[in-house]
């Protein structure tokens, strides 16, 4: 999984508190509880018997925009996840010349065709199966990744942001 996130922490890496904030606008409390529980259960895939390899590319501004009351816990979660052998987190520093405003994921499979998912407003994202469109997003991801800090430098920046809370 190659994930580019310019706006928020991706669901697989969210803490429960951050997920509550994400889902908190306009939903009834019982619906929020249900969605948060589903999101937390999905995260088990990261440590299951055959966990996916995930590369998360995230803008520095996303980390700095995490509300202060949950920032420390969310940054700690990212640092903990980054310690897994199948996870790489790289931060695009504020000075990076990457201007893609929409989050997307490229999903690569061993025995199936690659697909991509592009974020959309209000949960109206779009799945792409067209090989050319998926390849174009894979190239875009790699071009953006070339502007990112290394995984080690990214962890140090996340640690600094966490400590500045």
Q: CA 44, CA 78: separation in Å to the nearest integer?
A: 15
For residue 155, which of 89, 95, 93 has the smallest C-alpha distance? 89
The length of the chain is 165
- pLDDT computed for residue 25 by the predictor: 78
Fold of 2-163: Endonuclease; Chain A (3.30.870)
Report pLDDT for 115: 96
Position 26 scores a pLDDT of 73
Domain boundaries, the chain: 2-163
Please report the pLDDT score of residue 120 as a whole number. 81
Look up residue 123 and give its two tokens: 């949960």
Is 117 in a helix, a strand, or coil? Answer: strand
Please report, in tens digits, the pLDDT of each residue of the chain (165 residues total): 999 999 999 999 999 999 999 888 777 888 899 999 999 999 999 999 999 999 999 999 999 999 999 999 999 999 999 999 999 999 999 999 998 889 999 999 988 999 999 988 776 789 999 999 999 999 999 999 999 999 999 999 999 999 987
- The token duo for 39 is 């999101």
Give Cα 93 to chain centroid, integer Å: 15
């Amino acid at each position: 999984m190659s994930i580019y996130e310019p706006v928020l922490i991706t669901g697989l890496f969210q803490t429960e508190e951050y997920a509550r904030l994400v889902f908190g606008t306009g939903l009834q409390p019982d619906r929020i509880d249900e969605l948060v529980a589903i999101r937390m259960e999905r995260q088990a895939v990261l440590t299951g018997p055959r966990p996916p390899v995930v590369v998360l590319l995230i803008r520095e501004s996303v980390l700095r925009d995490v509300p202060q009351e949950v920032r420390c816990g969310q940054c700690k979660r990212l640092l903990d996840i980054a310690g897994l052998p199948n996870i790489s987190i790289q931060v695009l520093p504020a000075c990076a010349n990457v201007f893609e405003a929409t989050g997307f994921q490229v999903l690569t499979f061993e025995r199936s065709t690659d697909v991509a998912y592009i974020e959309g407003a209000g949960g109206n994202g779009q799945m792409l199966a067209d090989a050319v469109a998926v390849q174009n997003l894979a190239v875009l991801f790699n071009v953006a990744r070339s502007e990112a800090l290394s995984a080690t430098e990214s962890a140090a920046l996340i640690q600094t942001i966490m400590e500045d809370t």
